[in-house]
Structure 1
Amino acid sequence: VIAVVLILALAMPVSAAATVTPAGGGDAIAADDFGTGAWTTLTAIVITEGAAGDIAVGDFVLTIPSGFEFNTGSAPDVVVTGADLAATTPAAVTATTITVTVTSASTAAGTLTIGGTTPIQVSPTQGTPLSSGNIQMTSGTIDSVDGTTNFGTLTEVHGAATKFVIIDPTDGTVDAAITVTVQLQDQYGNIVTSGGHENDDVTLNADRSATGDGLVDIISGVGTKDISDQVAETVNLTLDDTETTGFNVDSTQDVIFAHGVATKFVIIDPTDGTVDAAIT
């Protein structure tokens, strides 16, 4: 009996999970590509069966994360290996999905490659906020693959630096300095943290009685200055491109210094007068 059970166990097929090699090349998609017709080309997605039939007959759908779109003019090719595995090529592509139609399951473990020759191409659908996410399967059946499986990570990054911007400061009082933040931004308002200009400096000007303005030390696209004023007043803030970066410096803001905490009573020197009238 033991021998029969052992023989049957050895004769049963061994289940092995399919694995996905996600598309690469999508980790630095520039915000500047938005609306320009520029596309980022991804490397191929490869699904490797662990056992025959892991990729089921029918459609499986890959969906792009929010903030990105597929190039509908570049329908990726589908190539298979493994006995009897077959799929329609090219895949059907819309702005948000790629649909692969499997017409025959494998009888020996194989592979299915999407975009090996005609590549998958993507582009951002907004300049800001910066988007990120994974291409995922939202429909279909592949052994051990589900809606959490990563078919390719897409990350949007800031564009080229174009301007310095004063961030609207929080108003305060004459009792403490007010921190003013200046950012180096791209055309869409994203902070520029790399690219060779992320440490370029700019001069902050504060008018009226304010002190503490001057050259702002920009590090990774951000710098600050502590502005003080002993007079309760509104201070206007402007920028000056003293370091000749060539970036726009039109940004302006104002900050209000209110009176401080009460500390004393003061008699204001009155105007002298005569005995003919009261003096206020």
Structure 2
Amino acid sequence: MLSLKEIKEKLEQSSGTETWITELEQDERIGARKLWTSWKRKQQLVLLERQAHEEKMVFDRSYCSRDNDLVAGVDEAGRGPLAGPVVTAAVILQQNTEDLIGLDDSKQLSRNKRNELATTIKQKAIAYSIHFQSVEKIDELNIYEATKQSMTEAVLSLEARPNVVLVDAMKLPIDIETHSIIKGDAKSLAIAAASILAKTARDEYMDQLHEQFPMYLFNKHAGYGTKLHIEMIEQYGPTQHHRTTFEPIKSILRMR
């Protein structure tokens, strides 16, 4: 009979098809049952993750009329913050996306997982583009128009021209077949990939901004309107990286 240590080690390497798995199912030891239950739970999560991945791939391909059509996903990060740019990304993935199983809406993943996926996406993508829309443009145009313009730039900057563009809840003025997908980062693999690239690029930018303005703690809130961030703005005043057309910054400036 295998020891609990041996069972744990073998389960970590198991594909679930080995003959000794059947014997483990009959093992009545409490420790063995716990290891078996834990392993089964992990296998179920892996299966669900793979199924979700397949569904996202099928969703993207459903917009293609030919097998070799290229699908670009487009998303943004940073529409809501009081400071920093809005960042958009466009991504064309290869049809073989095994390395991206687990890719999801960036908000559903840890920062470490997002960074890992961003590296893989950049390595495996047919093409990708990231665009930073400045605070000045946001204040000049409004956040919706600034985001639309940035997304358009991201698509047009792709090294490969897509046949279809899937955008998270936005219509773009481009001469490529485009579809606006509500909650697209949860439905489309390409949009989820763009979400990851936009989010990781913006987080890195805000970390660098923190080095220049440590008193605002941009590395903690990424420019969003948290209570702490607003207190720092009231104490030190807005920087050139704050959006002057956003409240409460607009009112704070009026009072000064």
TM-score, normalization by structure 2: 0.32
Higher strand share: 1
TM-score, normalization by structure 1: 0.30
Higher helix share: 2
Q: Higher Cα Rg: structure 1 or 2?
A: 1
Q: Whose RCO is larger (CA < 8 A, sep 6+)?
A: 2
